[in-house]
Amino acid sequence: MFKSKWIAPHSVCENLHMLFSKKFNLGTFNSAVIRITADDYYKLYINGKYVGEGPAPSYVFRYRFNEYDITDYLHSGENEIVVRAYYQGLTNRVWVSGDNRAGVIADVIVDGEYLFGTDSSWQYSKDTTFVGGDTVGYETAFLENRDFTTIQPAPQPAPQPAKEVDCDYTFDTEPFAPVKVYNLAADIQQKGGRYFCDFGREYVGTLMVKATANADGKAIYIRCAEELDIDGRPRFDMRCGVRYEEKCTLKKGENTAEQYDYKAMRYVEIEADDGVTVDGVTLAVRHFEFDENAQNISTDNERLKTVFELCKDTVHYGVQDVFVDCPTREKGQYLGDTYIAAFAHYYLTNDCRLLKKALCDFADSIRYGGQFLSVAPCAYQQKIADYDLLYPHMLLKYYRLTGDSKTLKSLTPACEDILSEYEPFKNADGLLENVTSAWNLVDWPDNMRDGYEYSTGGSEEYGLHSVINAYYLFAVRSFEQICDLLGKTYKPQYNTLVAAFNRTFFDKNTGLYVDCKGGKHSSVHSNILPLAFGICSAEKRDIPLNFLLKKGMCCSVYMAYFYLKALCVCAHGDAALDMITSESECCWLNMIKEGATATFEAWGKEQKWNTSLFHPWACAPILIINEHFGHLLY
Banded pLDDT at 460 (limits 50, 70, 90)? confident
Query: Per-residue pLDDT averaged across 393-407, rounded?
Result: 98
How far lies 275's CA from each of 119, 207, 223, in Å?
A: 45, 22, 19
Q: What amino acid occupies position 240?
A: C
pLDDT (tens digit, 9 = 90+) per residue, 17-75? 999 999 999 999 999 999 999 999 999 999 999 999 999 999 999 999 999 999 999 99
Residues 6+ apart with CB under 8 A from 50: 43, 44, 181
pLDDT at residue 158, as a whole number: 82
Banded pLDDT at 153 (limits 50, 70, 90)? low
Query: Per-residue pLDDT averaged across 508-535, rounded?
Result: 98
pLDDT (tens digit, 9 = 90+) per residue, 292-335? 888 999 999 999 999 999 999 999 999 999 999 999 999 999 99
Backbone angles phi, psi at 281, to 5 degrees: -135, 125
Backbone angles phi, psi at 130, to 5 degrees: -85, 120
Helix (H) or strand (E) holding 150: none
What DSSP assignment string belongs to 134-149? -EETTTTEE--EEEGG
Residues 220 and 210: their CA atoms lie apart, in Å, by 10
Banded pLDDT at 457 (limits 50, 70, 90)? confident
Banded pLDDT at 575 (limits 50, 70, 90)? very high
How far lies 400's CA from each of 47, 114, 403, 408, 537, in Å?
A: 46, 40, 6, 10, 24
Query: Per-residue pLDDT averaged across 414-435, rounded?
Result: 98
Residue 458 has pLDDT above 90, yes or no: no
Residues 394 and 343: their CA atoms lie apart, in Å, by 9
User: 145-147 and 245-249 as β-strands: parallel, antiparallel, unpaired?
Assistant: parallel
Backbone angles phi, psi at 545, to 5 degrees: -65, -50
Query: Per-residue pLDDT averaged across 460-479, rounded?
Result: 95
Residue 217 has pLDDT above 60, yes or no: yes
Residue 155 has pLDDT above 90, yes or no: no
pLDDT at residue 38, as a whole number: 98
Residue 632 has pLDDT above 60, yes or no: yes
Query: CB–CB of 44/81 below 8 Å?
Result: yes
Query: Per-residue pLDDT averaged across 436-454, rounded?
Result: 97
Q: How many CB atoms lie within 10 A of CB 23?
A: 12
Query: CB–CB of 556/445 below 8 Å?
Result: yes
Beta-carbon-side half-sphere exposure of residue 462 (alpha carbons within 13 Å): 9
Q: Would you give the distance in Å from CA 466 to the centre of its chain?
A: 29
Banded pLDDT at 156 (limits 50, 70, 90)? low
pLDDT at residue 152, as a whole number: 59
Judge if the upstream peptide bond of residue 377 is cis by omega within 30 degrees of 0. Answer: yes
> CA torsion 320→326→329→330, rounded to 10°?
-70
Residues 138 and 290: their CA atoms lie apart, in Å, by 28
